[in-house]
Amino acid sequence: MDLVDSGSKTEQLLRDIEINNCINKTLPQRIGDNCVDCDEPIPSERLNAGGHIVRCIDCQHTHELLKKQGRL
């Protein structure tokens, strides 16, 4: 293995680590059926709608506004 191959493998490893860190940071794990922000129960209709639901509708709205404003 030459120096270029070694550098490419190291660069790919660092990229993979950063991608995993971003995924874990932006997709919090849901614990039960409660909102990760306010800890209130998330309605079953919302949970059954599909996707990775971790927040109640009010907290999700606030989260999206803050993200849009660049404050997250």
- Asked whether residue 24 falls in the same domain as residue 49, the answer is no
pTM for the model stands at 0.56
- Asked whether residue 55 falls in the same domain as residue 23, the answer is no
- Asked whether residue 10 falls in the same domain as residue 44, the answer is no
Q: What is the model's pLDDT at position 11?
A: 85
Low-confidence ranges of the chain (pLDDT < 50): none
Is 42 in contact with 55 (CB distance < 8 Å)? yes
- Asked whether residue 55 falls in the same domain as residue 71, the answer is yes
Q: What is the model's pLDDT at position 22?
A: 73
Q: What is the model's pLDDT at position 49?
A: 85
What domain range is 52 assigned to?
32-72
In sequence order, the 6+-apart residues with CB closer than 8 A to the CB of 40 are 34, 56
Report the Cα 64 to chain-centroid distance in Å.
13
